[in-house]
Chains A and B, each alone.
Chain A
Amino acid sequence: MPVRYNASMAVAIQCRDLRKTYDGKVEAVRGLNLEVQAGECFGLLGPNGAGKTTTIEILEGLLAPTSGQVSILGHTWETHSRELREWLGISLQETRLSEKLSVLETVELFASFYHRPRPAREVLEQLQLTEKADAWVGKLSGGQKQRLAVATALVGNPKVLFLDEPTTGLDPQSRRQLWDIVREFQGRGGTILLTTHYMDEAERLCDRLAIVDHGQIIAEGSPAELIARLGGHHVVEFAASNLEGKAPEAWSQLPGVESVRHEDGLFSLSVREPHLTIPALLDAVEQQGSQLMHLTTRQASLEDVFVRLTGRHLREE
């Protein structure tokens, strides 16, 4: 384990065998284990409905688990909820703050709930909302509203920041701004747990990830580790004519190919060394008497990991 994590290496968030069943029927979370180190940025990645929000809301003490244990900064919700509330900063997936209050008034309102808050104006400055301090919340853009939501979480001077889908629906620039804010918080020693269904967000922002599907963690590790575990670091995708009769498995015989997927006439090969695979692929296509219609090669991503693990795409909506 690299020493870039907080010197204390303490566990900030831990849960064991977490389960949540709604109305005795719907199993949203099915035996989930998690350990986030202090100073880490940890991501829960998964499609909509995977149980990410249920998990994070249980960790935040807003939902009671059906069974399982949760410990935040070494304390449980049952015994230390008041202290934990002081130590956590939370941004829910969809909160519509009061539209007729100004940005500054909103942040000051949230600051008043904490024993030792940060000055509201300082937080606005950090989140580049100073210009909008006197604007009504209803007049803000989506990105500004999301930054304000994070401001209400940061004004309590938290040790742990929970962000549920912080950049969903935001434009690229607003997303990058939010990433910078998260990195800054982490740079000052804070711990972050966030949920997302954006692969790029998870890859760029998170030290470690858990891929969640059907209420369970199906893979865990750093983004690089997860991609490496896929088998190849590259993906070769191609389409060619007259290949209907050929079984997808046939392509796995090509040099350097780790696995093959076939979807909508497009073949995806996970490969370790594309410079060996591609010439062999071209020969094979020619031998079949078919013509190549499409060929791309790219770095493998978390999306490939997810598809490999579940057979589905992350954003199937």
Chain B
Amino acid sequence: MTNAPSVSPQPSQGQVSGLVNPRWAGFWQLLLARMRELKREPEVIFWVFVFPLLLALGLGIAFRNKPADATSIAVVAGPGADSTLTLLAKAPQHGTVHAKVLAKEEALKAFRLGKVDLVVEPDGRGGYQYHYDPARPESVLSRTQVNDALQSGAGRLDLLPVSFVVSSEPGSRYIDFLIPGLLGMNLMNAAMWGIGFALVDMRQRKLLKRFVATPMRRSDFLLAILSSRLLLMLVEVGLMLGFGVLIFHMRVLGSVLTILLIGVLGALTFGGLGLLTASRAQKIETISGLINLVMMPMWIFSGVFFSYERFPVAIHPFIQLLPLTALNDALRATILEGAPLAAQSGRILVMLVWGGVSFLLAMRWFRWT
């Protein structure tokens, strides 16, 4: 090394172009390239933007709040079947019961297959036997309804005067619960795939190696990837909320700014997790498995499609420590209840810790080659 003469850096190609790149040229070009690639990938548009809306639409329709669910029952054919139908028709609740007469065997088969909620078997002497399943809520409900209908049809009088107030406000429906959950899940999916998968794909293609063979700043590269995620996040939040408001007349109580701040935090949290997941994997098959492994528990526990209140109370504290739970809870509290950011410090902390620790570990372990 001692006698190696130092070569003064003279321009080898003769002409000097005079072109000088500003400090952030690399970052902007990387961001531009990333956005162009995403825009030109129809699958990305579908999975990131269209699919969550389709999911919301499908689930919103399937679980829409129907006016007092009508129950389907079977009446066993034989003496007394006709008078049963007459009694039901006379009852004030007659609109909520669909009854059909079937042979006993047919009726029990229909009950077993879930086509009817209850089988009513007249005993021929004016009495009835109900076949119901105590483990099926609709079956229990049907028994009560049908019994009431038959009794009042037969002339039973209610002893207490009662009246009803209808309460079906937007905000308490399933779709209101669902939309923030889908939004949270979508932010997780898009970040894990859009960052984790994309990075491993670039590593497998030796593109990361090619990039670090240039004077590109590695921080610029990672910043560009995260920035592209944040830009897409804005579109995702806007689309999902706009969809909920326009199609399902959802009411957004919290401020848009707060919702976006939570969105930014969520996108960065899962961006960090995506980065960590992708830090070593060499093949896209490996990263696909890892991403699903990371996301699977959160799909189930974090209250996307149903409330985690359904799980035993003992594990609630653990569920609440999952980043998607924190994100979903924060989105729901803001969108549905109008909670300010200050009231959600616990959830914000959970996300910050997950994102921050993931990012730091990823920086330690990340392989460019």
Contacts and interface: CB of A to CB of B under 8 A. Distances in A.
A118 B215 contact: no
Contact of A71 (B4, B14, B26, B41): B4
Interface string A42-79: 00000000000000000011110000010101111000
B169 to A, nearest CB: 47
Contacts of A95: 205-207, 209-210
A74 B6 contact: yes
Nearest to B30: A109
Nearest to B27: A112
Contacts of B206: 92, 94-96
B29 interface: yes
14 contacts: A11-B7, A38-B7, A62-B213, A95-B205, A97-B207, A101-B36, A112-B26, A113-B21, A113-B26, A116-B19, A122-B17, A136-B40, A159-B7, A189-B12
7 closest residue pairs by CB, A with B: A74-B6, A112-B29, A96-B205, A85-B215, A159-B12, A113-B216, A100-B40
A60 B213 contact: yes
A219 B369 CA distance: 31
B13 interface: yes
Interface in B172-218: 205-207, 209-216
A45 B9 CA distance: 28
A12 B214 contact: no
Contacts of A159: 7, 9-12
Contacts of A76: 1
Given A16-B1, A110-B214, A116 B17 contact: yes
A115 B30 contact: no
A157 interface: yes
A98 B205 CA distance: 9
A105 B33 contact: yes
Interface string B1-45: 100111101111111110111000110111011001100110000
A246 interface: no
Question: Quick one: which of B1, B20, B28, B211 has the most chain A CB within 10 A?
Answer: B1
Question: Quick one: which of B9, B11, B12, B14 has the most chain A CB within 10 A?
Answer: B12
Contact residue range for chain B?
35 or more
A8 B7 contact: yes
Contacts of B5: 10-11, 74
A188 B21 contact: no
Contacts of B4: 11, 14, 71, 74
B221 to A, nearest CB: 10
A156 B210 CA distance: 13
B29 A109 contact: yes
B9 A101 contact: no
Given A71-B1, A86-B215, A157-B17, A96 B12 contact: no
Contacts of A69: 1
Nearest to A190: B12
Contact residue range for chain A?
35 or more
A75 B9 CA distance: 11
A136 B215 CA distance: 25
Nearest to B40: A100
Interface in A1-53: 8, 10-12, 14, 16, 38
A267 interface: no
Interface of A: 8, 10-12, 14, 16, 38, 60-63, 69, 71, 73-76, 82-83, 85-88, 90, 92, 94-98, 100-101, 105, 108-119, 122, 136, 152, 156-160, 185, 188-191
B282 to A, nearest CB: 14
A95 B41 CA distance: 20
Given A69-B1, A85-B214, A100 B12 contact: no
Contacts of A63: 369
A90 B214 CA distance: 8
Given A74-B5, A112-B25, A189-B12, A92 B210 contact: yes
B19 A118 contact: yes
Contacts of A109: 29-30, 32-33
Given A92-B206, A92-B209, 14 more contacts: A60-B213, A73-B9, A74-B5, A85-B214, A86-B215, A88-B213, A97-B205, A97-B207, A98-B207, A100-B37, A113-B214, A116-B17, A157-B13, A159-B12
A12 B4 CA distance: 9
Contacts of A71: 1, 4
Contacts of B30: 109, 112
Question: Quick one: which of B4, B10, B17, B30 has the most chain A CB within 10 A?
Answer: B4
Given A95-B205, A116-B20, A189 B14 contact: yes
B32 to A, nearest CB: 8
Given A62-B369, A73-B7, A90 B213 contact: yes
B16 A116 contact: yes
Question: Quick one: which of A63, A88, A95, A188 has the most chain B CB within 10 A?
Answer: A95
A168 to B, nearest CB: 14
B12 A158 contact: yes
A38 B11 CA distance: 12
A98 B35 CA distance: 12
A180 B7 CA distance: 26
Contacts of A14: 1, 4
Question: Quick one: which of A12, A16, A100 has the most chain B CB within 10 A?
Answer: A100
Contacts of B20: 115-116
A79 to B, nearest CB: 11
B142 to A, nearest CB: 56
Contacts of B32: 109
A100 B41 contact: yes
A12 B7 CA distance: 7
A14 B26 CA distance: 30
A314 to B, nearest CB: 25
A100 B215 CA distance: 23
A112 B21 contact: yes
